[in-house]
A and B are shown apart, each in its own frame.
Chain A
Amino acid sequence: MRKTILFLIFLTLSAGNIDNLFKTSKVNYPDASAVFLLQRKNFSWEGELKESDSLLIKILNKTGRDRYSDLRVRKGKGEKVEVLNAFTLKENLKRIPVGKDSINKVTPPFLSGVPFYGEGIQDMVYSFPDVEPGDGLYLEFKRKGGESFSSVQYPMERDPKERVEIEITPPQGSSLKYKVRGLKLCKREGSFIWSGKVNMVYPEEFRPPIKLLSPFLIFSTSKDWSKETSHLRNSFYSLLKKGGFEYKSGKDLGQLYKFLTVEIKTVDLPLWYGGFDFTPLGKIKENGFADQRDKALLSVFLLRKLGYKAYPVLANSEVNPAKEVSTIKQFNRFLVMFFKEKNWVFFDPADEYSILGNISFSGKEGLVLKEKGVEWVTIKRKGENSSEFSASLNLDKAGNFSGELKTQGRGIFDIGIKKTLRYMKDNEKDKFFSVMADKFLPGTKSLKWEIANIKSPFKSSFISQRISGKELGIIERGKEGEEVMILNLPENPYYFTKFPYRTSLPKRRYPLYIGEPQSFESKIKVKISGGWEPSYLPESRERSGNGWKFSVHSSFRNGFIEVVYRAKLTSKLVNLVDYNRFMNDQQILFVPSSKLVILKKKSSLTKE
């Protein structure tokens, strides 16, 4: 009985069914802008992959209207797409079709600066008419193309889905492999149907990547990874053998790295959008640009020419791939690894800002593509993720100051500095440092600045600037004339090396995602003079928990007040059960009592 009911639901939606589903839907999603009453996908094989999609969306408010009224249907390389139905469904069940004048063929925005690789990719934008909150949108289309029977589906999005159905009819005689989470399976003759309700992903600071939260279905009929990657490997290694790229800049590894990551311009394109074949090396030379696949090819070629053992590595920057389902669609990055000084060094040739060996998603499993087969490897990074900031200030008796700010970033923090400053002109840098001085303390002037290693492929970047400003110390006088000077210690103004996990939420829905171990230090050193001495300093204290450690340490020695704030994060996540403690512990870095210094005149207030 249940199977029959399910079977009835799983029929391609007829006009009556759409109306019925829409009419009888009872939805209560106060946080959503719309709800997908149904999203159906059907995968089958007709000598090529065939996909049929239908979706019925109910608009809940104006945000939903704006978000969904223009729906894109993407036509990928070599695909044929046909839209079968598109209409607005009013609350009274009247249908208003999308007219021809409301269908536009546009270049997908991410292809806007992409030459060649984006050929054949197009979006059809369907602009639905007369959409009001309470109305529905229906879209149905089919797509053909693709040489392998495989797909990766992560259905979670910004709005909830009452029902998601994915039906798969594998080619006859094939063996389907799959991995699934959060969807229930029902088998029908020859087909597999997974379905379920999918929650919306809520906005939340430091939320884990959607792929870690979403239900998913990954499937493939490929026998194993070797078979799955054979075309890719054949293409790669045959082009490698063919050569056709002359590199004349010597054997210096740093120079080569710069050449690969900077001089050969990266065409920023999601992996596989440009297809599954590589570009001949001669053509890459002619073009001077390449997407991540071709950059990997060029990198391996040139490293081998320099005498290194090198291989391409497929990786996913967000989640570990499901090894039991062999489909390359699981990967979104094309890395390179090469052997140097007894270690394998990994790098992303499409990332021009990371120093060699710095991979921001280390610890994940990557698939090494060798000539005769494949191998799994754990991606490793070289070096740590850390940031340091220091402010050395001279305070005069009126509370004004001069001094120097410095910051250095390693690993992921170095990327931010390089990205920001590498291509700035000198006058732009002047303005940048002027803004940073003002952010340190409003009204502060930037005097001189220095930067180092912004272009270095091996060294992390370093910044320093001299500043001067007013009213770091504010003199307050009591009713009886006693004087104190209050200093509110400023924070690191450089956004790329600041502690990024300052929480604002008392409660969370999702674990707090950190990703990579990292550490921070911020040091404020103030030289006091003019008859002032400290009356109050931040209390030195330390808090630690399951994957973190925070500390504040203050001292006064030889006329210098020094307060050092440190944070060390060693886990990838802060679980919900630990969050409250994490939030309370980190507050020692930010509470007013950790930022405040009170100075007194020697003749005024007595110390406690």
Chain B
Amino acid sequence: MKKLTIYFLLLTALFATTNYRIKNLNEHIRFLSDGSFTADETREVNVLTQKGAKELANRKIPYYRRYGKVEVIKAEIRKKDGKVREITGDYIKDQTPAILQQMNIYEENFRELMITFPSLSPGDTVFTHIRFSYKPLIKGHYNNEFLLQDFEPIDKIKIEIEGPQDKKLNYIVRNGRLSFSTRNRGKNKIYVWEGKNIPALEEEQGASSPMDYGLKLIVSTFRDWKELSAYGAKLNRGKINSTPEMEKKVKELIKGAKTKKEKILRIFRFVERKIRYMGSSMDVGAFVESHKASYTFKKKFGVCRDKSILMIAMLRLAGINADDVVVNVSRKTEPAIPSLYFEHAIVAVKFGRKYIYMDPTLELSSSFGDPYLGDRKVLHLVRGGKELTTIPHSDPKRSLLAINAASTISASGELTSSIKIEGKGFNDLILRSIASRSPGVALLLFYQKLASSLAPGAKIEQPLAGNPFDLSKKYSVSFKVKADNYTTKAGKFLLFKIPMSKDSFDIYYTYLLKNLISLEKRKYPLSLFSTASSRVIEEINIPEGYQVFSLPKNKEIKEGPFYFKGEVEEKAGKIVFKRNLLIDTSYVEPNQYSELKRVLAEMESFKKQMVILEEK
């Protein structure tokens, strides 16, 4: 008892910033030729702090009821005084996950088992043995991805996978080391990976998925991506169907369209806008399968794979070829091992010699080809199979946010600005999304809030915004801003900051990017989702009776894929301000982060400067 207490105290001292420690994590998986498998996971976790007790009080184990089941073979709390408490019955609850409902997915076969560990305290150890039994998720194959690092340290980890010898398991380990061995058992082969003293991951704002930078193991019986592509295409067989109603609709949509591009856009917009993103029950379905196109067309809702299948079916009715494509959005795709664990489905439309990649779940995307997809690895699911492809890089100018302003400063300190904001690509999507979520007065309130950061008491007048849902037209927002007391009078001097240099209306920079670059340095990659750029041009009329004493110094910097230029000049009695910011990557590695910091530091330094006028 005393030993245990000393041991506990030592652990707490050694791991002062650790809330719990995973002592042992073992997983034994056995898969069969048909792809079915059972997995036995045992886990032993030491609770070190109150926060650890809180975090471990509930454990949620997701599973898909249509395909498998989860059993709690054993769950117990081993108290520091040596007593053991078994967890059974009412402490194990089967429920639907909240996180999927947040994504508008109500499929009641997506389940989770929640185990509650009552009265958990620092010093306790939680032990679980969970068994998963699954019908083939992937017929005739086994494929899995394991994240083997947690936000708390792991002492020992062991993954054992047993399968038929004739189903060779290919594997890769990234971002760390595991020892590897194999052995035979009858007609089966057992692959074993082991690791020790795996350090904890850290929480970091804006970090991409831990699958990008955490220790991971990917295994697959697929030979190559081509085989996987062909498998995916086989799942789609029979799904890309049509009905007379669909035919009628396609004819109606493309009537009068003069070009192939126009036909594609019309069909794309129909699927985008008229098919609501929502996931509900599957009558039948295997892993990654969609509903039939006719079903989605009738219901007018579906998830990503439903929408992409429907779009392909409708394009085919218009005589246009397109592929079902899978992609990862929140993380990178590991090219070395073919794995079916993609997050999202989109469409690749054959357009001349190239493919245009389009995402029909983005209901407000007006682009021909979605710029956010640039540089991502994708898999076309086609008969005969296809290797992994990389979508060409997307020029940040394709996602430009343009702000144009004409401002007047009066001698009494009043600022009046006429502002117009327009976006392309990703920035257009942002502007439209804001407008679609803010009907009527809510949109005015949104821009009013932005204006208040320009100057206290600033008022928006005469707002004018396009229809965010009309994707065939450019979308822009324009308004006037008025603010009293914008300037500071100090003797014969009048001082003010260049209004548009404050970036109050640069939603991309101020509300997305700026919040992600506060850390001095980073350990993990920063995910920006898309390349993008913003450009501001402002002309300022200065009050009569004043002349320029000093203007902000121009600054320009380019580091890696990041660029900033800010310039101010006096021209024909006006002050002209131009600012350009280019972010030519959607994924910032830690060693690139310092480049981004330097560029944005220069931008912030530029913004600190003021215009000083003096009385003539």
Contacts and interface: CB of A to CB of B under 8 A. Distances in A.
Given A101-B280, A504-B451, A61 B96 contact: no
A318 interface: no
Given A104-B106, A587-B485, A265 B54 contact: yes
A427 B152 CA distance: 12
Given A62-B469, A289-B57, A504-B449, 7 more contacts: A202-B442, A265-B57, A423-B19, A423-B54, A442-B604, A476-B609, A592-B488
A286 B497 CA distance: 63
Interface of B: 16-19, 49-51, 53-54, 57-58, 60, 90-91, 93, 95-98, 101-102, 104, 106-108, 114, 116, 118-121, 202-205, 273-274, 276, 278, 280-281, 283, 298-301, 363, 436-442, 445, 448-449, 451-452, 455-457, 459, 469, 485-493, 495-497, 517-520, 549-550, 600-601, 604-605, 608-610, 612, 614
A115 interface: yes
A60 to B, nearest CB: 8
A474 B457 contact: no
Contact of B107 (A62, A104, A115, A202): A104
Contacts of A199: none
A583 B457 contact: yes
Contact of A70 (B91, B106, B493, B518): B106
16 contacts: A31-B441, A104-B280, A106-B101, A106-B108, A112-B95, A112-B98, A116-B90, A127-B280, A129-B301, A130-B300, A425-B19, A506-B448, A583-B457, A593-B485, A596-B490, A608-B490
A505 B448 contact: yes
Contacts of A30: 439-441
A476 B95 contact: no
B13 to A, nearest CB: 13
Contact of A443 (B57, B58, B601): B601
A397 interface: no
Contacts of B16: 426
Given A285-B119, A428-B203, A65 B276 contact: yes
Contacts, number: 233
Contacts of B106: 70, 104, 106, 125, 127
A131 interface: yes
Q: Which of B90, B283, B452 is most buried by chain A, counting CB atoms within 10 A of its CB?
A: B452
B90 A591 contact: no
A435 interface: yes
Contacts of B104: 70
A474 B497 CA distance: 12
A201 to B, nearest CB: 12
Nearest to B496: A592
A504 B453 CA distance: 8
Interface stretch (A13-21, A374-382, A478-486, A564-572): A478-486
Contacts of A476: 549-550, 609-610, 612
Nearest to A130: B300
A486 B440 contact: no
Contacts of A478: 549-550, 612, 614
A347 B616 CA distance: 65
A104 B108 contact: yes
Given A101-B280, A479-B550, A503-B452, A107 B608 contact: no
A592 B118 contact: no
A109 B457 contact: no
A406 interface: no
A113 interface: yes
Given A127-B278, A425-B17, A434-B518, A32 B204 contact: no
Contacts of A112: 60, 95, 97-98, 114
Nearest to A595: B488
B550 A287 contact: no
Q: How large is the interface on A (under 10, 10 to 19, 20 to 34, 35 or more residues)?
A: 35 or more
A262 B50 contact: yes
Nearest to B15: A425
B299 A109 contact: no
- The 9 A-B residue pairs with the shortest CB-CB distance in the complex, in nearest-first order: A288-B119, A31-B440, A504-B452, A608-B491, A425-B17, A112-B98, A107-B95, A536-B490, A109-B98
A167 interface: no
A598 B452 contact: no
B610 A486 contact: yes
Contacts of B608: 471, 474, 488
Contact of B276 (A69, A265, A285): A69
Contacts of A445: 520
Interface in A115-155: 115-116, 125, 127, 129-132
A342 interface: no
Contacts of A434: 518-520
Contacts of B490: 535-536, 596, 598, 608
Contact of B488 (A29, A132, A443, A593): A593
Contact of B273 (A62, A99, A113, A583): A62
A203 B459 contact: no
Contacts of A590: 456
Nearest to A258: B50
A184 interface: no
Contacts of B436: 62-63
A274 B583 CA distance: 51
Nearest to A598: B490
Nearest to A439: B518
A111 interface: yes
Contacts of B449: 205, 504
A443 B604 contact: yes
Given A131-B300, A474-B610, A607 B108 contact: no
Contacts of A106: 96, 101, 106, 108
Contacts of A431: 202-205, 519
A591 B17 contact: no
Contacts of B550: 476-479
Contact of A471 (B120, B452, B605): B605
A478 B298 CA distance: 71
Contacts of B439: 30-33, 60-61, 63
Contacts of A70: 104, 106, 278
Contacts of B519: 431, 434-435, 438
Contacts of B495: 486, 592, 596, 598
Interface string A474-510: 1011110000101010000000000000111110000
A524 to B, nearest CB: 16
A494 B440 CA distance: 33
B322 to A, nearest CB: 24
A103 to B, nearest CB: 8
Nearest to A504: B452
Given A62-B469, A598-B490, A129 B299 contact: yes
A61 B614 CA distance: 53
A204 interface: yes
A147 to B, nearest CB: 24
B281 A102 contact: yes
A79 B25 CA distance: 43
A504 B276 contact: no
B56 to A, nearest CB: 11
B520 A132 contact: no
A120 to B, nearest CB: 12
Contacts of B205: 431, 435
A586 B485 CA distance: 13
A571 B51 CA distance: 38
A112 B97 CA distance: 7
A442 B440 contact: no
Given A61-B439, A106-B108, A587-B485, A423 B51 contact: yes
A349 B152 CA distance: 30
A68 B334 CA distance: 39
A304 interface: no
